[in-house]
Structure 1
């Protein structure tokens, strides 16, 4: 059975990860699996998620999952661990008595409930009383129109957490935060905050020098080993990474030399790339770095399926650096002047390589759960599209292993 799953990050006001909204399909032919009315089908839905492993997808954070009217009435959420999920009530579900009874049951069992894409109407008052979170889609209900509703909710129902979704710019993020929203969903974090020609700090310059060293056509292993040994932070992160669950080693690696030998030069280059990128701007949310590592790993794996002018290692680098403008809040052109990358990698990062543009677009849409994208429909039977779910799950695990050590 083909299973497609994606997760969209939910941030706190200080850009830390609160949790993820989970999106899935059983194929590219349907938006949500058809439910045939039997209790057994709800079991299939549960098994679908557990076949991935909720912890692998959620990294220990809560997951927001959409439930249809039928699924709520069948009490499908009770098949999930209450600490791992938040029940999202879809916007087209009416507050009929059966739904209210179902929500009361979930609340009595300790589940959290969110109202999705909420538009206020008095008839929802009883449902509002039972929820813990309300999500506002600011493309459907712009921030400038929400003042009276937010004032009512904050004054009368201060137990409710307000989540602003479809936040695409930092201006929207700051406005929503000022209006009282506590959680935020959208891809504002993946774009530069201010496209200005500001200077780099001393630490950023040092990191870029390290990137230059490992970006050489034939880097000297001894030099890299000395640099790592002389940097306690990188040494610690390397040992933490090599001993993480991602490698499933039966015995621990205890020395820097053994860790480097185990990884090899190419994997060591990837590791240092990720460590440097993750450290280069500590003010940025970790999810932006995670997003970069996921894209890098997926690009690398796709190179084994499609033909490009890049090696898998080169595509890893391109994918990882593709968000560097957002990480440093600088134009990509200015950043590339400071890094000794090959011209073809620079061309890809500047959007001049058609194949990488298409691949980057495909991976970004998959990661965001935008499966209505034309490529998914026209090429849904291709080897690349069919392998993307497995590539994505592997990339999630790699990203979690990298960032746990970082």
Structure 2
């Protein structure tokens, strides 16, 4: 059985809601940055994730953005799949000739959604625009101001094109791109702290930190957690609602906090605290941030027993789980971690990315960014096969997507 080396990057709208994911593919355990052709990479991705498998496993039912090279487009490869399956990204390496235009018109007429990837404005592409739905600008290659001029020009002409800003890496860039007229945004700007300054923590944030401290212990004290939750009316309501959603088939709903906590168990209780308590403390943060922390936690936990030397799975889970605390609470990571009674290995991993746990966290972050050379390097340092890393990452994506779907139905 071959392994699919797949990473994904979230795409958000102006309200910081995740509307889809770009799927990024690389091939082979001995070739993390492959010499294979673009067409082969695309076909492997489609075969592994859209034939005989549910793409919702990795995209949580949201739109999947898939790169298509020239050869796949002129062969009409997308017609093999339902038009709802994905958004077709026309690679920037495509030659805008007559054959490509004919393919684009046919795909458009069949109802497919088409995007121009890493678009560079040029006269040969002008005749394609009536059949395109989304234009992606790499703001590292095209300044936001120049892209904004292009957007305004087309909006003034009544164009219904949507514009996506790629490689948005800070909140300031997100705001600038939004003000320039972009509709969609790709990059990890949402996982960077917006303000790193000392400030008074609100009561809800203090409660969240105390809950974090409670669930980070090897043995969880349910009595302490019950006291923390019972003193917060909103949290109490969310806990009972969350548990009763999970136990809808029970004849009698759960009504006591102690019963609810016992039902959840340690692992789901940690997830509840991260997902619900933190979202209450920071309501302006995007859902993607919490999902990324959950996915990192699961990835680190999955991989903890495969690396050399092995590390405690619970410590690995907590390292991934707390790796985005600075972004969630807009405080320096060291300030927050020092308020939690975590062991030395987790503290060093989170603050300085040191030790085996720190390397594991670096590997999770490299996969988030589809940094294939760095993935290869870290896999060698941790003495774990890249095929195993790829499998565990894909499993963690599916696990996080399942939780996203659960959240969307609640």
> TM-score, normalising length from structure 1?
0.87
Counterpart position of 1:246: none
User: Following TM superposition, by how much is the alpha carbon of 1:354 offset from its aligned partner in structure 2, in angstroms?
Assistant: 3.0
Spell out, residue by residue over 1:4-30, the C-alpha distance to the aligned partner (whole angstroms, 9 max, x if none). 111111111111112111111342535
Counterpart position of 1:368: 369
8 Å CA contact retained: 2:4, 2:44: no
Mapping of residues 136-285 of structure 1, within 5 Å: 136-156=137-157, 158-224=159-225, 231-241=236-246, 255=254, 260-261=261-262, 263-285=264-286
Q: After alignment, is 128-137 or 258-267 more displaced?
A: 258-267
Mapping of residues 326-337 of structure 1, within 5 Å: 326-337=327-338
Say if 2:26 is the partner of 1:3: no
Counterpart position of 1:17: 18
What is the CA–CA distance in structure 2 between the aligned matches of 1:42 and 1:362, rounded to whole Å? 24
Counterpart position of 2:64: 63
User: Following TM superposition, by how much is the alpha carbon of 1:352 offset from its aligned partner in structure 2, in angstroms?
Assistant: 5.4
User: How many residues are treated as equivalent by the alignment?
Assistant: 397
Partner of 1:375: helix, strand, or coil? helix
What is the CA–CA distance in structure 2 between the aligned matches of 1:198 and 1:226, rounded to whole Å? 26
Q: Which sections of structure 2, spanning at least 5 residues, go unmatched?
A: none
Distance 1:42 1:269, change over 3 A: closer
Partner of 1:135: helix, strand, or coil? strand
What is the CA–CA distance in structure 2 between the aligned matches of 1:269 and 1:133, rounded to whole Å? 39
Distance 1:65 1:253, change over 3 A: farther
Spell out, residue by residue over 1:191-250, the C-alpha distance to the aligned partner (whole angstroms, 9 max, x if none). 10111112222211122222233334533334445666781211222343577xxxxxx9
Distance 1:251 1:393, change over 3 A: farther
Q: After alignment, is 378-387 or 210-219 more displaced?
A: 378-387
Say if 2:52 is the partner of 1:47: no
Mapping of residues 246-325 of structure 1, within 5 Å: 255=254, 260-261=261-262, 263-308=264-309, 310-325=311-326
8 Å CA contact retained: 2:138, 2:165: yes
Partner of 1:146: helix, strand, or coil? helix
8 Å CA contact retained: 1:167, 1:187: yes
Q: Which sections of structure 1, spanning at least 5 residues, go unmatched?
A: 244-249
User: Following TM superposition, by how much is the alpha carbon of 1:267 offset from its aligned partner in structure 2, in angstroms?
Assistant: 4.7
Spell out, residue by residue over 1:251-297, the C-alpha distance to the aligned partner (whole angstroms, 9 max, x if none). 89954777655653355344434433343311111101111111111
Q: After alignment, is 161-170 or 306-315 more displaced?
A: 306-315
What is the CA–CA distance in structure 1 between the aligned matches of 2:274 and 2:394, rounded to whole Å? 21
User: Following TM superposition, by how much is the alpha carbon of 1:190 offset from its aligned partner in structure 2, in angstroms?
Assistant: 1.1
What is the CA–CA distance in structure 1 between the aligned matches of 2:79 and 2:188, rounded to whole Å? 31
Aligned CA-pair RMSD: 3.0
What is the CA–CA distance in structure 1 between the aligned matches of 2:122 and 2:211, rounded to whole Å? 57
What is the CA–CA distance in structure 1 between the aligned matches of 2:313 and 2:228, rounded to whole Å? 25
Q: After alignment, is 329-338 or 221-230 more displaced?
A: 221-230
Partner of 1:66: helix, strand, or coil? strand
8 Å CA contact retained: 1:270, 1:317: no
